[in-house]
A and B are shown apart, each in its own frame.
Chain A
Amino acid sequence: MAGEAAIINTAARASLWLQPHRIVLILIALGLVLSAAFFMRWDWLPQYWEMGLMGIWRALWILAVTCALGFLIAVPVGLAQAAGSIWVAAPAKVFCTIIRGTPLLLQLWLLYYGLGSLFPQYPWIRDSWMWPYLRQAWPYGVLALTLSFAGYEGEVMRGAFAGVPKGQLEAARAFGMSRWKIFRRIWLPQAFYRALPTLTGEAVLQLKSTPLVATISVIDIFAVAGKVRQDTYLTYEPLLLLALIYMAITGILVLALSRIEARIPVKVG
């Protein structure tokens, strides 16, 4: 019975969603996609799809690493601004302002062309174990994206840390918890729950800034599309496919993060 009711319910919702004009719109969209598939040139796909998969993988890898590292930096930055003395809070504030006040592309080029051009001047850097890494482009890309994520996220975490009700912390102190334990068990989880919806948005923004690393010669999916365009002189097809890929990744990302969001206890503070 219950299953039947559920089926009827979903059917009713589907019919509500599938109004006549929507069906027409969907048909038009399908027609556009099909005409694109038939009338545009896609014969370059077999040749490049392996490279494309590598590019997608690299973009996702950069996204994951920079988000994780950026969040690790963002926690102390946010904490310093929310609870630290002025000597810690002021540098954190300056860091956030600078990161948020300048374009990411500029930061990236500053690190890659600016810092990258300084390193070869010092022989001891050239001889050290770091040199093989410093010669490549991706460490700079990861560093710039991490710092940018940390800057934006630090501001979010500041609000989240400040938003945890005072009573919770006082209660934890009354239980005789040490400061580290309070932070680990009470303060950080609650702040994290508060920040999670914003974190989802920030993760999507971070995904949208990953193609910038292509400008410093890291081969991600965006760079692959650029290469296809240069090789085949096609204007639209690679870019359209690229837009589609990014939309798919965004959709999956939002879906996955909203799953996580649904799992946390709703009643905070």
Chain B
Amino acid sequence: MLGLLHSLEIAVGATIVGLAIGVCGAYGKLYGGPVVRDLLAVYTTVVRAVPELVLILLLYYAGTDLINQVLSAIGYQRVDISGLVAGIAVLGFCQGAYSTEVMRGAILAIPQGQIEAARAFGMSPGLLLRRITLPAMLPFAIPGLANLWLIATKDTALLAVVGFFELTLATRQAAGVTKAYLIFYLAAGVLYLAVTLFSNFLLGRAEKWARRGMPSIKEAR
């Protein structure tokens, strides 16, 4: 059960980090200068082309190692980065690439007039982002982001490979101790499934809420 909690913590953290990267990335891709745009294109392409497992290993080991080297070079003590933080950072980095693309599409789907109107009102870019762009983009982005959240919950299982104690690894240890492999794995599967179904339900509600006042998809066709 502690494993499930850890899994959910990481999934939530990674999604939040991913969303933050996604908003910045989408803004960079749409409004940034040529250099920023190209760098972001490289980032999203590379992250989406390399298996998550490889990325996780690379960032998990290389990232912690790098931070420690930098810290010791500056003269600080080596820090022990907890698995939780590292896991959130790594998965968030992966999620960021995907959510950048989702957000970019969603922002492009906003009727241009709304943004122009806000600019004409003299809104600052920050206010524009907070009041207009984010709320207006939400209905377009939620289906994609819902998928990302589901992927995030399942990607936490990959952290078992680098030895982080989450649901899958907890299951494996419990199964190894009791020799009741099938039962424990089935139970873990049911837990994951429950999380997925429950969040499906919540996300469906959220999408309905975000789309309120808009023509339904069927009518729009």
Contact of B54 among A21, A25, A98, A242 (CB under 8 A): A242
Question: B172 near A109 (CB under 8 angstroms)?
Answer: yes
Residue B24 interfacial (CB < 8 Å):
no
In whole angstroms, what is the CA distance A105 to B157 when docked? 7
Stretch in B106-114, B135-143, B189-197 touching the partner:
B189-197
Question: B58 near A243 (CB under 8 angstroms)?
Answer: yes
Question: B54 near A211 (CB under 8 angstroms)?
Answer: yes
Question: A101 near B38 (CB under 8 angstroms)?
Answer: no
Helix, strand, loop or mixed for chain B's interface? Answer: helix
In whole angstroms, what is the CA distance A210 to B52 when docked? 11
Q: Given that A22-B38, A106-B192, A110-B189 are known contacts, is A115 also in contact with B160, CB under 8 Å in the complex? A: no
Question: A247 near B50 (CB under 8 angstroms)?
Answer: yes
Q: Given that A21-B34, A106-B171 are known contacts, is A239 also in contact with B186, CB under 8 Å in the complex? A: no
In whole angstroms, what is the CA distance A196 to B172 when docked? 37
Residue A15 interfacial (CB < 8 Å):
no
Question: A106 near B168 (CB under 8 angstroms)?
Answer: yes
Question: B192 near A115 (CB under 8 angstroms)?
Answer: no
Residue B4 interfacial (CB < 8 Å):
no
Chain B: which residue is nearest A201 at the CB level? B48
Question: A106 near B157 (CB under 8 angstroms)?
Answer: yes
Residue A44 interfacial (CB < 8 Å):
no
A19 to chain B: which residues have CB within 8 Å?
A: 34
Question: B157 near A247 (CB under 8 angstroms)?
Answer: no
Residue B126 interfacial (CB < 8 Å):
no
Chain A: which residue is nearest B46 at the CB level? A247
Question: A102 near B58 (CB under 8 angstroms)?
Answer: no
Question: A246 near B49 (CB under 8 angstroms)?
Answer: yes
User: Interface digits, B93-107 against A, CB 8 Å rule (1 contact, 0 not)?
Assistant: 000000000000000
A265 to chain B: which residues have CB within 8 Å?
A: none
Q: Please give the distance in Å from A147's CB to the nearest CB on chain B.
A: 13
Residue B185 interfacial (CB < 8 Å):
yes
Helix, strand, loop or mixed for chain A's interface? Answer: helix
Question: B158 near A110 (CB under 8 angstroms)?
Answer: no
B150 to chain A: which residues have CB within 8 Å?
A: 100-101
A98 to chain B: which residues have CB within 8 Å?
A: 189, 193
B196 to chain A: which residues have CB within 8 Å?
A: 100-102
Residue A143 interfacial (CB < 8 Å):
no
Residue A10 interfacial (CB < 8 Å):
no
Residue B35 interfacial (CB < 8 Å):
yes
In whole angstroms, what is the CA distance A215 to B168 when docked? 13
Question: B49 near A251 (CB under 8 angstroms)?
Answer: yes
B179 to chain A: which residues have CB within 8 Å?
A: 117
Question: A105 near B192 (CB under 8 angstroms)?
Answer: no
> From residue 164 to 189 of chain B, which have CB atoms closer than 8 A to chain A?
168, 171-172, 175, 179, 181-182, 185-186, 188-189
Interface residues of B (CB under 8 A from A): 34-35, 38-39, 46, 49-55, 57-58, 61-62, 65, 150, 153-158, 160-161, 168, 171-172, 175, 179, 181-182, 185-186, 188-189, 192-193, 196-197
* Complex A-B: 7 CB contacts under 8 Å: A25-B39, A103-B157, A110-B186, A114-B175, A235-B62, A239-B61, A243-B50
Other A-B pairs beyond A106-B157, A106-B192, A212-B158, 12, CB < 8 Å: A21-B38, A97-B193, A98-B189, A101-B193, A104-B157, A105-B158, A106-B188, A114-B185, A208-B51, A235-B61, A239-B54, A239-B57
